[in-house]
Amino acid sequence: MSYRSAGVDIDAAEHAKNLMTVAVRRTHGPAVLAGIGAFGGAFALGATLQKMTDPVLVASTDGVGTKTMVATAVGRFDTVGQDLVNHCINDVLVQGARPLFFMDYFAAAQLDPLMVERVVSGVATACEAAGCALLGGETAEMPGIYMPQAFDLAGTLVGVVDRAQLITGAAIRSGDVVLGLPSNGLHTNGYSLARKICEPIGYAATPPELGGVSLGDALLEVHRSYLPQLDTLWGAGLEIKGMAHLTGGGIINNLPRVLPEGLSATIHTGTWPVPPIFAFLLRSVQLDPIETYRTFNMGIGMALIVAPEKAAAARAAVEELVVIGEIAPGQGVTLV
Amino acid sequence: MSYRSAGVDIDAAEHAKNLMTVAVRRTHGPAVLAGIGAFGGAFALGATLQKMTDPVLVASTDGVGTKTMVATAVGRFDTVGQDLVNHCINDVLVQGARPLFFMDYFAAAQLDPLMVERVVSGVATACEAAGCALLGGETAEMPGIYMPQAFDLAGTLVGVVDRAQLITGAAIRSGDVVLGLPSNGLHTNGYSLARKICEPIGYAATPPELGGVSLGDALLEVHRSYLPQLDTLWGAGLEIKGMAHLTGGGIINNLPRVLPEGLSATIHTGTWPVPPIFAFLLRSVQLDPIETYRTFNMGIGMALIVAPEKAAAARAAVEELVVIGEIAPGQGVTLV
C-alpha cells in the first residue's frame, strides 16, 4: 500500500504509516508469504488444505455505503474498516466458510495519511480478531471522482469451506426453527435514511431513546461479526441448514434467498430486543412494517435455520440466540 | 449483483440486466458452484489443486483511477472493465500466478443500468479471455460520496501458483537481460496529467502524432493483458527470474521492486517503439526524462528479467519481446 502526503506534517505521516504497517503485519500468520514482491499478496494454502478433502473458496466483495459519511461527520475513522471486514465475514459465514484473507480498497478526493491509517488499522483490527490475513489493498486519490471530504471503502474477503460443509439451504423443511443473532444497531444498512433524519439534528444529539448515548456513537456501532458464535455452534457439532446475513433489504429480502422453493418463513416481531436507535429513527419517520423490516435489520443481524430438535442445544451453546420464527409452506417472509 | 433503476426505461433496464447476466455466466466454468445462495461466490479448487503440490493464492486489488473520467467524457463504457481485469492479471502474473477468479466493485453517484451493464460486461469480456471466472461483485449508489456523472471501478483478482514456481526475483544476477513487452498506450497510469493536457483540446481532437486516431480512442486503448505471452514463455519452459508490471511509478519505481539488494537495471531508452500518444503528450508538457518514465510506461507494459543465454529463445517464442536493458551492480534504474 502506498499513499501520498497531502500537506501533512511528514513525521506525523511517517508515524501513521508505521502504525498501519504494524497493524497489518499483526494479521499475518505463517500462510502469508513475505518478501516475494509487492505486486500482489501471497497466501500459502498448505495448512488450510490439510484439514479439507474438497476445498471451496467463497468470496465476498462489499462496501460500507454511506456509513463513511457519518464517520466523516463525527470525525471517527477507526470503525468503518471493522464494519467492512465484519460485513464480509458474515457474508461468507452464511455459506459455511471461514475467512482466510482480506483485500481492501480505499479511495478519496484527497488522501490524508492520518485518516488512511485510522481506516486501514480498523480493517486490520477486525481481520486480526477473525484470524484473517490483511493480504493487500489499494489506496487511490481521485479529486474529480469523489466529493471533497468524502471517501469510499470497499473490500474483498476470501474464505474457505470443505465442500461437504457448504450451507445451501437445501435441507430446510417446514417446521424448522428460525433463530436470530442480535445486531447492535444499523450495521451497514439504512444509512441514507438515517442520515436524512439525523443530519439536521446533529450527531452529537442525545435523544431520550439512547439513554445518554449520542446519535453519532449509536450510528457508528461496529457491524458485528458472528464468527465467534458460529465457531461455537459448529464446534458443538450443530447443523445449521441455512443462514441469512441481514444486510440491505433486511429480513424481508435476505431470508428468502436461502429458502427452497415452496417454503416461507414466519417471523414473530417483538420476540427479540430492538436496539434503541431504531426506536428513535422510527419515531422520526413514518414507515409501514414491511418497509421498516426492509430498510433496517431491526435488531437481528443474522438468521439461522435449524431443525426443531436442535434449537434448544443451539441456544444452550450460544445464549444470545433468540427463536424468532419458523419455516412453513409458502413463499417469502411473513411478519406476525 | 443488483442495481436500482434510475428513471430508465424498464424494458431497457431489464434487457441490460439480461445482457450482463449472460456475459457473466460465460465466464463460469465447472469450478463455479451455482445455486448455493447469493451472499458470496463459490469456487471449487479441486481441479486446480490436482495440478499442484503446494498451491499459493496470489491476490491483487486495483482500481482504474481516473481513466473512468475519460470513459465518461467520451461516453464509452465497455473498455474500463477490461482495463481493470487486465491490470490485475498482470499484477499476479509477475509472481508467476495465473488468474482463477475476479470480484468487481462499481460505485457511482447514480447507477444507470445501461452504463453498469456496459462496464460489467467489459469486466466479463476480459475475464472470459483469460479463462477467469467473474465470481461476484457489488454495485453501490452513493450520491453524497461521488461527484455527479462520476464513477469508480475497482476489483480483486485471485490467482494461483505452485510454490516452486513463485517468481521472487531472488535468482536475478548481474549480466541478466531485461526484456520488455510493448504497451499500447497509457494502460491505466498517467491519466491525471493526460486529462489536464487533453480536456482543453477535447477528446475528439486528432493531433498529427496520432495519424487520424482521436485522443479519446488513444487514451481508452485497453490495458493489455500479458497472459498469452507468459503462457507461451512458460509453455516453452523458459525461466523468468523476475517481472515488473509497469503501472503507477513506471519503470523507474516498479522495476527496482523485483531486484535483489545490490543490483540495478540499466535501461536503454530508444530501443523500443513508443506509442504515438506519448509523443503527443510530451510535446504538450515539459517533463524531464526521469519524470517522464515515472509518470508513463512509455511503451513498455511489462519488464521481464532472464538469464542472458535465454534471451534469444524468449524472443523467438514471443516475437514482440524487445531487449531493453541489463542488470548490473548498483541500485535502482539507470536510463541511458
The per-residue pLDDT for range B189-199, each reduced to its tens digit, is: 999 999 999 99
ipTM passes above 0.85: yes
Chain-chain contact of A41 with B62 (C-beta, under 8 angstroms): no
Task: Find all residues with CB under 8 Å of B272, minimum gap 6, and list them.
Answer: B180, B182, B299, B300, B322, B324
For residue range B46-80, list pLDDT tens digits in order: 999 998 999 999 999 999 999 999 999 999 999 99
pLDDT tier at B35, thresholds 50, 70, 90 = low
Measured over the CA atoms of residue B250, residue B253, residue B257 and residue B261, the dihedral's sign is: positive
What is the Cα Rg of chain A in Å?
Answer: 21
Residue A135, classified by CB atoms within 10 Å of its CB into exposed (0-12), middle (13-18) or buried (19+), is buried
Residues of chain B contacting A59 with CB distance shorter than 8 Å: 40-41, 43, 101, 103, 135-136, 156, 158
CA distance A210 to A273: 14
Under an 8 A CB cutoff, do A40 and B95 touch? yes
In chain B, pLDDT over 90 holds for what percent of residues?
A: 90
Confidence of residue B4 (pLDDT cuts 50, 70, 90): very low
Give the SS3 label for residue B51. coil
What separation in angstroms does the CA of B246 have from each of A175, B182, B196, B251, B300? 59, 11, 22, 6, 7
CA B229 to chain CA centroid, nearest Å: 14
* Rounded CA separation B124/B131 (Å): 10
CA distance B259 to chain A (A): 9
pLDDT-derived band at A4, boundaries 50, 70, 90: very low
| CA–CA distance, A232 with A242 (Å, rounded to integer) | 16
The DSSP secondary-structure symbol of A255 reads G
The predicted structure's pLDDT at residue B12: 80
| C-alpha to C-alpha distance for A317 and A233, rounded to whole angstroms | 7
| β-bridge partners, B125 | none
* H or E element in which residue A288 lies: none
pLDDT band at B121 (very low <50, low <70, confident <90, very high): very high
Taking CA–CA distances from A257, the nearest residue in chain B reads B37
Q: Which region among A184-193, A237-246, B3-12, B130-139 has the lowest average model confidence (pLDDT)?
A: B3-12
The DSSP secondary-structure symbol of A176 reads P
Burial class (CB in 10 A: 0-12, 13-18, 19+), A27: buried
The pLDDT, as a whole number, for residue B239 is: 96
- Contact residues, chain A, for B151 at CB < 8 Å: 145
Q: Are the Cβ atoms of B95 and A39 closer than 8 angstroms?
A: yes
Tally Cβ neighbours within 10 Å of residue B246: 26
Contacts A60 to B, Cβ<8 Å: 39-41, 103, 136
User: Given pLDDT bands bounded at 50, 70 and 90, which one contains residue A326?
Assistant: very high
- In chain A, pLDDT over 70 holds for what percent of residues? 96
Q: What does the mean pLDDT of chain A come to?
A: 93
> Which residues lie across from B182 on neighbouring strands?
B300
Q: Tell me whether residues B95 and A37 touch, CB distance under 8 A.
A: yes
Contact B65 A245 (CB under 8 A): no
From the list B216, B327, B59, the residue with the least C-alpha distance to A61 is B59
- Taking the CA atoms of residue B257, residue B263, residue B268 and residue B274 in that order, the dihedral angle to the nearest 10 degrees is -10
Cβ separation B68–A101 shorter than 8 A: no
Cβ atoms < 10 Å from Cβ of A232: 15
Q: Using the beta-carbon criterion (under 8 Å), do A43 and B49 form an inter-chain contact?
A: no
Cβ within 8 Å, pair A56-B45: yes
pLDDT for position B17: 86
What's the mean pLDDT when you consider all of chain B?
Answer: 93
Contacts of A235 (CB under 8 A, 6+ apart): none
Task: Identify which of A40, A56, A152 has the shortest CB distance to residue B43.
Answer: A56
Q: What is the pTM of this model?
A: 0.95
* CA torsion through residues B60, A139, B185, B67, sign: positive
CA distance A43 to A29: 10
- Tell me which chain A residues have a C-beta less than 8 angstroms from the C-beta of B39: 60, 91-92, 94-95, 244-245, 257
List, in order, residues 6 or more apart from B183 with CB less than 8 Å away: B224, B246, B275, B297, B299, B300, B301
Q: Which pLDDT value is given to residue B10?
A: 64
Q: What distance in Å separates residue A211's CA from the closest CA in chain B?
A: 30
pLDDT class of A5 with cuts at 50, 70, 90: very low
Closest Cα partner for A326 from A183, A182, A173? A173
Nearest to A59 among B63, B103, B152 (CB): B103
Which region among A305-309, B40-44, B191-195, B293-297 has the lowest average model confidence (pLDDT)? B40-44
- The pLDDT tens digits of the residues spanning B76-96 come to 999 999 999 999 999 999 999
Task: Please say if the pLDDT value at position A7 is more than 60.
Answer: no
Test A68 with B145 for CB contact under 8 angstroms.
Answer: yes
Q: Which domains does chain A have, with CATH numbers?
A: 10-165 (3.30.1330.10), 177-335 (3.90.650.10)
Give the residue on A whose Cα is nearest the Cα of B39: A91
**Option in B37, B137, B158 nearest A258 (CB):** B37
pLDDT of residue A247: 94
In angstroms, what CA-CA distances link A212 with A204, B89, B238? 10, 51, 68
d(CA A282, CA B132): 46
The answer to whether residues B66 and B146 touch, using CB atoms and an 8 Å cutoff, is no
Residue A69 grid coordinates: 459519511
Which residue in B268, B301, B308 sits closest to B177, CA to CA? B308
Is a pLDDT exceeding 80 seen at residue B244?
A: yes
**Residue B2 pLDDT more than 80?**
no
Give residue A297's identity as a one-letter amino acid code. Answer: N
Residues from chain B that touch A107, judged by Cβ atoms under 8 A, are: 63, 152, 154
User: Which chain A residues are within 8 Å of B144, Cβ to Cβ?
Assistant: 66, 69, 147, 150, 195
Checking if the pLDDT of A3 tops 50, the result is no
Q: Say how many CA atoms lie within 13 Å of A113 toward its Cβ.
A: 21
The H-or-E segment that residue A254 falls in is: helix A250-254
Tell me how close the Cα of A72 comes to any Cα of chain B, in angstroms: 11
User: Which pLDDT does position A10 carry in this prediction?
Assistant: 64
Q: Which of A324, A180, A326 is nearest to A263 (CA)?
A: A326
- Which member of B42, B68, B97 has the closest CB to residue A95? B42
Residue type, A262: G
Residue predicted with more confidence, B38 or A311: A311
| A131-140, A242-251, B12-21, B324-333: least confidently modelled range | B12-21
Residue A330: closest CA among A256, A278, A236? A256
Chain pair A-B, CB pairs under 8 angstroms: 225
Q: H-type helices in chain B, by residue range?
A: 10-25, 46-50, 67-74, 80-93, 113-130, 191-198, 215-219, 227-235, 250-254, 276-284, 289-295, 311-317
* Integer Cα distance of B130 and A320 in angstroms: 47
Residues of chain A contacting B246 with CB distance shorter than 8 Å: none
* pLDDT score at B37: 53
* Per-residue confidence band for B6, with pLDDT thresholds at 50, 70 and 90: very low
Smallest Cβ–Cβ distance between B136 and the set A37, A61, A147 belongs to A61
A145 vs B66, B97, B169: nearest CB: B66
Smallest Cβ–Cβ distance between A44 and the set B61, B97, B163 belongs to B163
Long-range contacts of A43-50 (CB under 8 A, 24+ apart): A43/A100, A43/A101, A43/A133, A43/A135, A43/B56, A43/B57, A43/B58, A43/B59, A44/B54, A44/B55, A44/B56, A44/B57, A44/B163, A45/B45, A45/B55, A45/B56, A45/B57, A46/B54, A46/B55, A48/A100, A48/A160, A49/B49, A49/B55
Q: What is the pLDDT of residue B1?
A: 36
Do B59 and A135 count as a contact with CB atoms less than 8 A apart? yes
Distance CA A323, CA B207 (A): 70
The amino acid at A222: V
Q: Which residues of B touch A92 (CB under 8 A)?
A: 39-40
pLDDT tens, A124-174?
A: 999 999 999 999 999 999 999 999 989 999 999 999 999 999 999 999 999
Contact between B36 and B42 (Cβ < 8 Å): yes
H or E segment and range at residue A28: none
Nearest beta carbon to residue A146 from set B38, B54, B146:
B146
CA nearest to B54 within chain A: A46
Least CB-CB distance to A156: which of B38, B95, B103?
A: B103
pLDDT (mean) for B192-212: 96
Q: Give the rounded percent of residues in chain A with a pLDDT score beyond 90.
A: 90
- pLDDT tens, position by position, B287-331: 998 999 999 999 999 999 999 999 999 999 999 999 999 999 999
Task: Compute the average pLDDT of residues A47-75.
Answer: 95
How far from the centroid of its chain's Cα atoms is residue A130's Cα?
Answer: 12
DSSP type of residue B212: T
Query: Each residue of B143-189: pLDDT tens digit?
Result: 999 999 899 999 999 999 999 999 999 999 999 999 999 999 999 99
Q: How far apart are CA B60 and CA B247, in angstroms?
A: 13
Nearest to residue B56, comparing CAs of A39, A135, A161, A31? A31
